[in-house]
Structure 1
Protein backbone atom coordinates (compact mmCIF):
# COMPACT_ATOMS: atom_id res chain seq x y z
CA UNK A 1 0.00 0.00 0.00
CA UNK A 2 1.36 3.42 -0.88
CA UNK A 3 1.09 6.49 1.28
CA UNK A 4 0.03 9.89 0.02
CA UNK A 5 2.21 12.61 1.53
CA UNK A 6 -0.81 14.92 1.88
CA UNK A 7 -2.64 12.26 3.87
CA UNK A 8 0.38 11.58 6.08
CA UNK A 9 2.14 14.88 6.76
CA UNK A 10 4.11 13.39 9.66
CA UNK A 11 7.82 13.72 8.82
CA UNK A 12 8.66 10.29 10.27
CA UNK A 13 6.09 8.59 8.04
CA UNK A 14 7.49 10.40 4.99
CA UNK A 15 11.10 9.75 5.96
CA UNK A 16 10.64 6.01 6.41
CA UNK A 17 8.12 5.41 3.63
CA UNK A 18 8.96 2.56 1.29
CA UNK A 19 7.37 2.50 -2.16
CA UNK A 20 7.73 -0.25 -4.73
CA UNK A 21 8.24 0.37 -8.43
CA UNK A 22 4.62 -0.68 -8.90
CA UNK A 23 3.55 1.98 -6.37
CA UNK A 24 5.34 4.64 -8.45
CA UNK A 25 3.74 3.40 -11.67
CA UNK A 26 0.35 3.47 -9.96
CA UNK A 27 0.89 7.12 -8.96
CA UNK A 28 1.10 7.97 -12.67
CA UNK A 29 -1.97 5.89 -13.53
CA UNK A 30 -4.07 7.47 -10.76
CA UNK A 31 -2.60 10.95 -11.38
CA UNK A 32 -1.11 11.28 -7.89
CA UNK A 33 1.84 13.20 -9.30
CA UNK A 34 1.92 16.26 -7.06
CA UNK A 35 5.72 15.94 -7.19
CA UNK A 36 5.62 17.18 -10.82
CA UNK A 37 6.29 20.90 -11.15
CA UNK A 38 4.73 22.27 -14.33
CA UNK A 39 6.73 25.50 -14.22
CA UNK A 40 10.02 23.86 -13.32
CA UNK A 41 11.86 24.00 -10.03
CA UNK A 42 12.63 27.40 -8.49
CA UNK A 43 15.97 26.16 -7.11
CA UNK A 44 17.17 25.26 -10.59
CA UNK A 45 15.90 28.53 -12.07
CA UNK A 46 17.72 30.48 -9.37
CA UNK A 47 21.03 28.63 -9.78
CA UNK A 48 20.92 27.75 -13.49
CA UNK A 49 23.74 30.09 -14.57
CA UNK A 50 25.99 28.89 -11.75
CA UNK A 51 25.09 25.29 -12.53
CA UNK A 52 25.94 25.62 -16.23
CA UNK A 53 28.98 27.90 -15.77
CA UNK A 54 28.39 29.36 -19.23
CA UNK A 55 29.22 26.07 -20.91
CA UNK A 56 27.42 24.52 -23.85
CA UNK A 57 27.26 20.97 -25.13
CA UNK A 58 27.08 19.46 -21.64
CA UNK A 59 25.67 16.02 -20.88
CA UNK A 60 22.96 16.33 -18.21
CA UNK A 61 21.43 13.42 -16.30
CA UNK A 62 17.94 13.47 -14.75
CA UNK A 63 17.43 10.55 -12.32
CA UNK A 64 13.75 9.63 -11.85
CA UNK A 65 12.91 12.33 -14.39
CA UNK A 66 9.16 11.94 -14.73
CA UNK A 67 8.08 14.58 -17.22
CA UNK A 68 10.32 17.34 -15.85
CA UNK A 69 10.04 20.44 -18.04
CA UNK A 70 13.63 21.29 -17.18
CA UNK A 71 14.81 18.57 -19.57
CA UNK A 72 13.60 20.67 -22.49
CA UNK A 73 15.25 23.78 -21.02
CA UNK A 74 18.63 22.05 -21.18
CA UNK A 75 18.06 20.60 -24.65
CA UNK A 76 16.99 24.02 -25.94
CA UNK A 77 20.30 25.41 -24.66
CA UNK A 78 22.28 22.88 -26.69
CA UNK A 79 22.88 20.26 -24.02
CA UNK A 80 22.30 16.51 -24.27
CA UNK A 81 19.80 15.17 -21.75
CA UNK A 82 19.48 11.61 -20.49
CA UNK A 83 16.81 10.65 -17.99
CA UNK A 84 15.52 7.52 -16.35
CA UNK A 85 11.91 6.99 -15.26
CA UNK A 86 9.99 3.87 -14.26
CA UNK A 87 6.69 5.14 -15.71
CA UNK A 88 6.14 5.02 -19.45
CA UNK A 89 3.18 7.36 -18.87
CA UNK A 90 5.50 10.09 -17.55
CA UNK A 91 7.87 9.73 -20.48
CA UNK A 92 5.13 9.80 -23.10
CA UNK A 93 3.51 12.82 -21.42
CA UNK A 94 6.84 14.65 -21.46
CA UNK A 95 7.22 14.29 -25.22
CA UNK A 96 3.55 15.15 -25.85
CA UNK A 97 3.50 18.20 -23.57
CA UNK A 98 6.79 19.51 -24.98
CA UNK A 99 5.53 18.87 -28.53
CA UNK A 100 8.56 16.73 -29.36
CA UNK A 101 8.55 13.87 -31.82
CA UNK A 102 10.38 10.75 -30.70
CA UNK A 103 11.22 7.16 -31.37
CA UNK A 104 11.15 4.26 -28.96
CA UNK A 105 13.24 1.12 -28.91
CA UNK A 106 13.33 -1.88 -26.58
CA UNK A 107 16.45 -2.35 -24.48
CA UNK A 108 17.66 -5.86 -25.21
CA UNK A 109 19.58 -6.13 -21.95
CA UNK A 110 16.55 -5.31 -19.73
CA UNK A 111 13.28 -7.20 -20.16
CA UNK A 112 10.40 -4.80 -20.76
CA UNK A 113 12.59 -1.69 -20.73
CA UNK A 114 12.66 0.91 -23.50
CA UNK A 115 14.53 4.02 -24.50
CA UNK A 116 12.63 6.99 -25.92
CA UNK A 117 14.71 9.40 -28.03
CA UNK A 118 13.72 12.81 -29.33
CA UNK A 119 13.96 13.16 -33.10
CA UNK A 120 16.67 15.79 -32.59
CA UNK A 121 18.70 13.26 -30.61
CA UNK A 122 19.19 15.69 -27.73
CA UNK A 123 16.92 13.88 -25.24
CA UNK A 124 17.01 10.15 -24.38
CA UNK A 125 14.73 8.83 -21.66
CA UNK A 126 15.13 5.29 -20.35
CA UNK A 127 11.99 3.59 -19.09
CA UNK A 128 13.31 1.25 -16.41
CA UNK A 129 14.39 1.18 -12.79
CA UNK A 130 17.42 3.35 -12.12
CA UNK A 131 19.01 0.24 -10.59
CA UNK A 132 18.71 -1.55 -13.95
CA UNK A 133 19.95 1.38 -16.03
CA UNK A 134 22.56 0.21 -18.57
CA UNK A 135 25.31 2.53 -17.30
CA UNK A 136 27.91 1.29 -19.76
CA UNK A 137 25.66 2.43 -22.63
CA UNK A 138 24.80 5.90 -21.38
CA UNK A 139 28.27 7.20 -20.56
CA UNK A 140 29.34 9.88 -18.09
CA UNK A 141 27.76 13.24 -17.30
CA UNK A 142 28.89 16.81 -16.70
CA UNK A 143 25.79 17.73 -14.71
CA UNK A 144 23.15 15.95 -12.68
CA UNK A 145 19.90 17.62 -11.67
CA UNK A 146 18.31 15.56 -8.91
CA UNK A 147 14.93 17.10 -8.16
CA UNK A 148 13.60 14.57 -5.74
CA UNK A 149 15.19 11.28 -6.79
CA UNK A 150 17.26 11.01 -3.63
CA UNK A 151 14.11 11.70 -1.61
CA UNK A 152 12.02 9.20 -3.62
CA UNK A 153 14.56 6.38 -3.41
CA UNK A 154 13.80 4.05 -0.51
CA UNK A 155 16.12 4.73 2.45
CA UNK A 156 17.56 1.22 2.28
CA UNK A 157 18.64 1.85 -1.32
CA UNK A 158 20.48 5.15 -0.77
CA UNK A 159 23.94 3.55 -0.87
CA UNK A 160 23.14 1.75 -4.14
CA UNK A 161 21.76 4.98 -5.56
CA UNK A 162 24.89 6.90 -4.54
CA UNK A 163 27.09 4.27 -6.19
CA UNK A 164 25.15 4.63 -9.44
CA UNK A 165 25.36 8.42 -9.38
CA UNK A 166 29.10 8.34 -8.65
CA UNK A 167 29.66 5.94 -11.55
CA UNK A 168 27.99 8.40 -13.94
CA UNK A 169 30.01 11.51 -13.07
CA UNK A 170 32.80 13.01 -15.15
CA UNK A 171 35.77 14.55 -13.35
CA UNK A 172 34.61 18.18 -13.59
CA UNK A 173 30.98 17.63 -12.64
CA UNK A 174 28.24 19.68 -10.99
CA UNK A 175 25.53 17.90 -9.00
CA UNK A 176 22.52 19.94 -7.92
CA UNK A 177 20.15 18.12 -5.60
CA UNK A 178 16.89 19.17 -3.96
CA UNK A 179 16.20 17.32 -0.72
CA UNK A 180 13.90 17.47 2.29
CA UNK A 181 15.12 18.10 5.79
CA UNK A 182 13.38 16.00 8.44
Structure 2
Protein backbone atom coordinates (compact mmCIF):
# COMPACT_ATOMS: atom_id res chain seq x y z
CA UNK A 1 0.00 0.00 0.00
CA UNK A 2 2.93 2.37 0.73
CA UNK A 3 3.86 2.26 -2.96
CA UNK A 4 0.44 3.69 -3.87
CA UNK A 5 -0.23 5.88 -0.83
CA UNK A 6 0.35 9.18 -2.62
CA UNK A 7 -1.20 8.25 -5.95
CA UNK A 8 -3.94 10.75 -6.82
CA UNK A 9 -6.17 10.74 -9.90
CA UNK A 10 -8.17 13.89 -10.63
CA UNK A 11 -11.89 13.41 -11.30
CA UNK A 12 -11.33 14.68 -14.83
CA UNK A 13 -9.27 11.58 -15.60
CA UNK A 14 -12.22 9.31 -14.79
CA UNK A 15 -14.52 11.42 -16.98
CA UNK A 16 -11.98 11.21 -19.80
CA UNK A 17 -11.90 7.42 -19.52
CA UNK A 18 -15.64 7.28 -20.10
CA UNK A 19 -15.47 9.76 -22.98
CA UNK A 20 -12.67 7.80 -24.65
CA UNK A 21 -14.30 4.40 -24.04
CA UNK A 22 -11.45 3.25 -21.77
CA UNK A 23 -13.77 1.31 -19.49
CA UNK A 24 -12.09 -2.07 -19.08
CA UNK A 25 -13.24 -1.90 -15.44
CA UNK A 26 -16.83 -2.46 -16.62
CA UNK A 27 -18.14 -6.04 -16.39
CA UNK A 28 -20.73 -7.11 -18.99
CA UNK A 29 -22.17 -9.75 -16.64
CA UNK A 30 -23.47 -9.92 -13.07
CA UNK A 31 -20.58 -10.44 -10.67
CA UNK A 32 -20.31 -14.04 -9.47
CA UNK A 33 -19.67 -12.86 -5.88
CA UNK A 34 -23.00 -11.02 -5.85
CA UNK A 35 -24.90 -13.93 -7.37
CA UNK A 36 -23.45 -16.48 -4.94
CA UNK A 37 -23.86 -14.35 -1.82
CA UNK A 38 -27.11 -12.51 -2.50
CA UNK A 39 -29.05 -14.49 0.10
CA UNK A 40 -26.57 -13.41 2.77
CA UNK A 41 -27.40 -9.82 1.88
CA UNK A 42 -31.15 -10.16 1.49
CA UNK A 43 -31.69 -12.31 4.60
CA UNK A 44 -35.30 -12.92 3.59
CA UNK A 45 -36.10 -9.23 3.20
CA UNK A 46 -38.26 -7.92 0.36
CA UNK A 47 -37.74 -4.76 -1.69
CA UNK A 48 -34.31 -4.02 -0.25
CA UNK A 49 -32.79 -0.62 -1.09
CA UNK A 50 -29.33 -1.15 -2.60
CA UNK A 51 -26.65 1.52 -2.88
CA UNK A 52 -24.03 1.35 -5.64
CA UNK A 53 -21.11 3.77 -5.11
CA UNK A 54 -19.38 4.74 -8.38
CA UNK A 55 -21.93 2.58 -10.18
CA UNK A 56 -20.87 3.14 -13.78
CA UNK A 57 -23.20 1.11 -15.99
CA UNK A 58 -23.13 -2.05 -13.87
CA UNK A 59 -25.60 -4.64 -15.15
CA UNK A 60 -26.02 -5.82 -11.55
CA UNK A 61 -28.37 -2.84 -11.01
CA UNK A 62 -30.93 -4.07 -13.54
CA UNK A 63 -30.58 -7.64 -12.24
CA UNK A 64 -31.51 -6.54 -8.71
CA UNK A 65 -34.31 -4.23 -9.86
CA UNK A 66 -35.86 -7.11 -11.83
CA UNK A 67 -36.08 -9.02 -8.53
CA UNK A 68 -38.14 -6.22 -6.99
CA UNK A 69 -35.36 -4.40 -5.15
CA UNK A 70 -34.62 -0.71 -5.64
CA UNK A 71 -31.22 0.67 -6.59
CA UNK A 72 -29.61 4.05 -6.01
CA UNK A 73 -26.25 4.70 -7.62
CA UNK A 74 -23.78 7.56 -7.76
CA UNK A 75 -21.59 8.08 -10.81
CA UNK A 76 -19.49 11.02 -11.95
CA UNK A 77 -19.91 10.33 -15.66
CA UNK A 78 -23.19 11.29 -17.29
CA UNK A 79 -22.11 9.25 -20.31
CA UNK A 80 -21.80 6.13 -18.15
CA UNK A 81 -25.27 6.65 -16.69
CA UNK A 82 -26.91 7.19 -20.06
CA UNK A 83 -25.14 4.17 -21.49
CA UNK A 84 -26.62 2.08 -18.68
CA UNK A 85 -30.19 3.05 -19.49
CA UNK A 86 -29.64 2.70 -23.24
CA UNK A 87 -27.95 -0.70 -23.01
CA UNK A 88 -30.62 -2.02 -20.63
CA UNK A 89 -33.43 -0.63 -22.83
CA UNK A 90 -34.85 1.38 -19.94
CA UNK A 91 -36.73 4.63 -20.40
CA UNK A 92 -35.68 7.28 -17.90
CA UNK A 93 -36.37 10.78 -16.67
CA UNK A 94 -33.75 13.38 -15.80
CA UNK A 95 -34.19 15.81 -12.89
CA UNK A 96 -32.06 18.31 -10.96
CA UNK A 97 -31.06 17.46 -7.37
CA UNK A 98 -32.18 20.32 -5.09
CA UNK A 99 -29.60 19.80 -2.33
CA UNK A 100 -26.60 19.25 -4.68
CA UNK A 101 -26.20 22.25 -7.01
CA UNK A 102 -25.33 21.14 -10.54
CA UNK A 103 -26.14 17.48 -9.89
CA UNK A 104 -28.71 15.45 -11.81
CA UNK A 105 -30.62 12.28 -11.04
CA UNK A 106 -31.65 9.87 -13.78
CA UNK A 107 -34.63 7.70 -12.82
CA UNK A 108 -36.11 4.69 -14.57
CA UNK A 109 -39.78 5.16 -15.37
CA UNK A 110 -40.80 2.47 -12.86
CA UNK A 111 -38.80 4.25 -10.12
CA UNK A 112 -36.72 1.14 -9.33
CA UNK A 113 -33.39 2.67 -10.36
CA UNK A 114 -32.14 6.19 -9.53
CA UNK A 115 -28.64 7.20 -10.60
CA UNK A 116 -27.14 10.44 -9.31
CA UNK A 117 -24.59 12.19 -11.50
CA UNK A 118 -22.29 14.02 -9.10
CA UNK A 119 -19.10 13.83 -7.06
CA UNK A 120 -19.63 10.96 -4.61
CA UNK A 121 -18.51 13.06 -1.64
CA UNK A 122 -21.32 15.55 -2.23
CA UNK A 123 -23.89 12.76 -1.79
CA UNK A 124 -25.34 12.00 1.67
CA UNK A 125 -28.25 10.35 3.45
CA UNK A 126 -30.00 13.73 3.25
CA UNK A 127 -30.15 13.23 -0.52
CA UNK A 128 -31.64 9.74 -0.72
CA UNK A 129 -31.97 8.26 2.77
CA UNK A 130 -30.21 5.18 4.10
CA UNK A 131 -29.86 1.72 2.64
CA UNK A 132 -30.44 -1.91 3.52
CA UNK A 133 -27.60 -3.16 1.30
CA UNK A 134 -24.49 -1.85 -0.45
CA UNK A 135 -22.71 -3.47 -3.38
CA UNK A 136 -19.18 -2.10 -3.77
CA UNK A 137 -17.47 -3.94 -6.56
CA UNK A 138 -15.17 -1.27 -7.98
CA UNK A 139 -15.45 1.83 -5.81
CA UNK A 140 -13.10 1.44 -2.84
CA UNK A 141 -10.41 0.10 -5.19
CA UNK A 142 -10.88 3.11 -7.50
CA UNK A 143 -10.78 6.03 -5.10
CA UNK A 144 -7.51 7.72 -4.22
CA UNK A 145 -5.87 5.83 -1.31
CA UNK A 146 -5.58 9.06 0.69
CA UNK A 147 -9.40 9.38 0.61
CA UNK A 148 -10.24 5.95 2.03
CA UNK A 149 -11.19 7.10 5.52
CA UNK A 150 -13.41 9.85 4.11
CA UNK A 151 -15.00 7.28 1.82
CA UNK A 152 -15.56 4.76 4.64
CA UNK A 153 -17.12 7.43 6.86
CA UNK A 154 -19.55 8.36 4.07
CA UNK A 155 -20.51 4.77 3.31
CA UNK A 156 -21.10 3.93 6.97
CA UNK A 157 -23.34 7.01 7.27
CA UNK A 158 -25.52 5.56 4.49
CA UNK A 159 -26.08 2.21 6.25
CA UNK A 160 -29.30 1.31 8.01
CA UNK A 161 -28.83 -0.70 11.19
CA UNK A 162 -29.66 -3.91 9.29
CA UNK A 163 -27.53 -3.04 6.26
CA UNK A 164 -25.30 -5.68 4.67
CA UNK A 165 -22.37 -4.13 2.83
CA UNK A 166 -20.68 -6.43 0.29
CA UNK A 167 -17.22 -5.12 -0.56
CA UNK A 168 -14.90 -6.49 -3.24
CA UNK A 169 -11.23 -5.66 -2.69
CA UNK A 170 -8.24 -6.55 -4.87
CA UNK A 171 -4.81 -7.69 -3.75
CA UNK A 172 -1.65 -7.80 -5.87
CA UNK A 173 1.93 -6.49 -5.69
CA UNK A 174 1.56 -2.67 -5.58
CA UNK A 175 5.24 -2.31 -6.52
CA UNK A 176 4.37 -3.73 -9.96
CA UNK A 177 1.16 -1.83 -10.78
CA UNK A 178 0.56 1.73 -9.62
CA UNK A 179 -3.26 1.52 -9.86
CA UNK A 180 -6.13 1.97 -10.28
CA UNK A 181 -7.55 -0.40 -9.37
CA UNK A 182 -5.60 0.02 -6.16
CA UNK A 183 -4.44 -2.79 -3.92
CA UNK A 184 -6.67 -3.01 -0.82
CA UNK A 185 -5.62 -5.58 1.78
CA UNK A 186 -7.66 -7.08 4.59
CA UNK A 187 -5.69 -4.88 6.97
CA UNK A 188 -6.65 -1.81 4.91
CA UNK A 189 -10.34 -2.75 5.08
CA UNK A 190 -10.20 -3.17 8.85
CA UNK A 191 -8.24 0.06 9.27
CA UNK A 192 -10.81 2.24 7.52
CA UNK A 193 -14.04 0.45 8.45
CA UNK A 194 -13.11 -1.23 11.73
CA UNK A 195 -14.16 1.67 13.92
CA UNK A 196 -17.79 1.32 12.91
CA UNK A 197 -18.20 -2.07 11.26
CA UNK A 198 -17.64 -5.74 11.91
CA UNK A 199 -15.84 -7.31 8.95
CA UNK A 200 -16.20 -10.87 7.68
CA UNK A 201 -14.18 -12.34 4.80
CA UNK A 202 -16.61 -14.40 2.75
CA UNK A 203 -14.69 -15.51 -0.30
CA UNK A 204 -11.42 -15.29 -2.26
CA UNK A 205 -10.87 -15.78 -5.96
CA UNK A 206 -7.76 -15.54 -8.13
CA UNK A 207 -8.61 -13.63 -11.30
CA UNK A 208 -6.79 -13.81 -14.62
CA UNK A 209 -7.47 -11.15 -17.26
CA UNK A 210 -5.61 -10.21 -20.40
CA UNK A 211 -5.39 -6.54 -19.44
CA UNK A 212 -3.47 -7.47 -16.25
CA UNK A 213 -0.47 -8.31 -18.44
CA UNK A 214 -0.01 -4.74 -19.59
CA UNK A 215 0.22 -3.81 -15.89
CA UNK A 216 2.95 -6.41 -15.37
CA UNK A 217 0.62 -8.74 -13.44
CA UNK A 218 -0.34 -12.31 -14.26
CA UNK A 219 -3.28 -12.32 -11.87
CA UNK A 220 -4.79 -10.65 -8.83
CA UNK A 221 -6.82 -11.90 -5.89
CA UNK A 222 -10.34 -10.63 -5.36
CA UNK A 223 -11.64 -10.83 -1.80
CA UNK A 224 -15.27 -10.42 -0.80
CA UNK A 225 -16.09 -8.95 2.61
CA UNK A 226 -19.39 -8.48 4.36
CA UNK A 227 -19.53 -5.41 6.59
CA UNK A 228 -22.22 -4.80 9.19
CA UNK A 229 -22.56 -1.91 11.62
CA UNK A 230 -21.34 -2.64 15.12
CA UNK A 231 -24.04 -2.76 17.77
CA UNK A 232 -24.37 0.59 19.50
Q: TM-score, normalised by structure 1?
A: 0.89
Choose between structure 1 and 2 for higher RCO, CA contacts under 8 A separated by at least 6 residues: 1
Are 1:69 and 2:37 matched, yes or no?
Answer: no
User: How far 1:49 sits from its partner (Å)?
Assistant: 2.2
Compute the RMSD of aligned alpha carbons: 1.6
Are 1:83 and 2:83 matched, yes or no?
Answer: no
For 1:102, the equivalent position in structure 2 comes to 92
Query: Which structure dedicates a bigger proportion of its chain to strand?
Result: 2
Q: Is the CA contact 1:151–1:180 (under 8 Å) kept in the aligned structure 2?
A: yes
Any idea what SS the aligned residue of 1:149 has?
coil
Are 1:136 and 2:126 matched, yes or no?
Answer: yes
Between structure 1 and structure 2, the one with the greater Rg is: 2
Q: TM-score, normalised by structure 2?
A: 0.70
For 2:164, the equivalent position in structure 1 comes to 174
Encode CA deviations 1:17-44: one digit per residue, 9 max, x unaligned.
3211111100100111111000121211
Q: Is the CA contact 1:56–1:77 (under 8 Å) kept in the aligned structure 2?
A: no
Q: Is the CA contact 2:131–2:163 (under 8 Å) kept in the aligned structure 1?
A: yes
User: How far 1:16 sits from its partner (Å)?
Assistant: 5.2
Q: 1:115 aligns with which of 105, 112, 123?
A: 105
Are 1:50 and 2:40 matched, yes or no?
Answer: yes
Any idea what SS the aligned residue of 1:117 has?
strand
Q: 1:160 aligns with which of 137, 145, 150?
A: 150
Number of equivalences:
172
For 1:124, the equivalent position in structure 2 comes to 114
Any idea what SS the aligned residue of 1:105 has?
strand
Structure 1 stretches of 5 or more lacking a match? 1-10
Runs of 4+ more than 4 Å apart: 11-16
Structure 2 stretches of 5 or more lacking a match? 173-232
Q: Is the CA contact 1:150–1:158 (under 8 Å) kept in the aligned structure 2?
A: yes
For 1:18, the equivalent position in structure 2 comes to 8
User: How far 1:180 sits from its partner (Å)?
Assistant: 1.0
